[in-house]
Amino acid sequence: MSGSMYQQEIAANGFTVIENVFTDREVDSLIALIQQADSSKATFRKTKDLFAIRQFLRELPDAVPAIITPTLMAKLNELFGEGYQVVKSIYFDKPGDSNWFVSYHQDLTISVKDKADVPGFGPWTVKQQQYAVQPPLRILENNFTVRIHLDDTDEHNGALRVIPGSHRKGIYRPETIDWSKETEVSCNVSKGGIMIMRPLLLHASSRTTNNHKRRVIHIEFSNQELPASLQWSELLHN
């Protein structure tokens, strides 16, 4: 599919899937780097149902060149133009016997270094020593997320379920979804493929039913300048 067709999908539906962005060898190298990480830190969360690493690229700097590759950046520059930078990163490892699920939601917050009283920014939360705040809608509308899949993922092992076009409806409360008008799509992605999505896209993830792992690296990009008193907490200059 051409770049313009991916752009059209993102504009209309709020997401697209691009296969074969990373080779099997590149994915296996990434997995090996992650397995060597010190999981005792506060940014690591390990339970029976989920292993997660917040501030992932800060915690594993050796992974940066393996993830922010020329191939990936060329594709993103083609789709969105230059000037976007990494502002948040998380690793999710959902084991094959996981009962972990996430109900429908939008990604309404950004991560910043310090709390400040700025008009249009709020409410605030703190998660694992990191401030999160809901910014003005224009920031969320311009940001995008890349989900790099380290395993074949479908509806049986936690592929995202999304509501196409929901990103164009502003703040969309899940309890107000009208299923007589909305449709649900499972975003199946093969190992080495990526899913690109807008933060305002309503999305959910089901429990695993096929005993297959689902490992994903979630990276958020922005080209937005924050007010002087706020700073992106994970800004990575590409």
pLDDT in tens, 114-172: 999 999 999 999 987 789 999 999 999 999 999 999 999 999 999 999 999 999 999 99
Q: Which of 93-102, 148-157, 195-204, 227-236 has the lowest mean pLDDT?
A: 93-102
- Domain range enclosing 96: 3-222
In a domain, 58, yes or no: yes
In a domain, 230, yes or no: no
Strand partners, 94: 214
In a domain, 113, yes or no: yes
Number of domains in the chain: 1
Q: Which pLDDT does position 238 carry in this prediction?
A: 58
Q: Which pLDDT does position 53 carry in this prediction?
A: 92
In a domain, 107, yes or no: yes
**Maximum separation of any 2 CA atoms in the chain, in Å:** 48
**Following CA atoms 32, 33, 37, 43 in sequence, which dihedral angle do they give, to the nearest 10 degrees?**
-120
Average pLDDT score over the chain: 94
* 72 vs 47, more confident: 72
In a domain, 233, yes or no: no
The enclosing domain of 11 has a CATH number of 2.60.120.620
Q: C-alpha angle with apex 195: 28 to 41, nearest 5 degrees?
A: 55
In a domain, 144, yes or no: yes
pLDDT in tens, 13-32: 999 999 999 999 999 999 99
Query: Tokens in use for 212?
Result: 């297959």
In a domain, 9, yes or no: yes
Peptide bond into 123 cis (omega under 30): yes
CA distance 171 to 141: 11
Does residue 185 register a pLDDT over 90? yes
Q: Which pLDDT does position 1 carry in this prediction?
A: 78
Is 148:57 a contact under the CB 8 Å cutoff?
no
In a domain, 235, yes or no: no
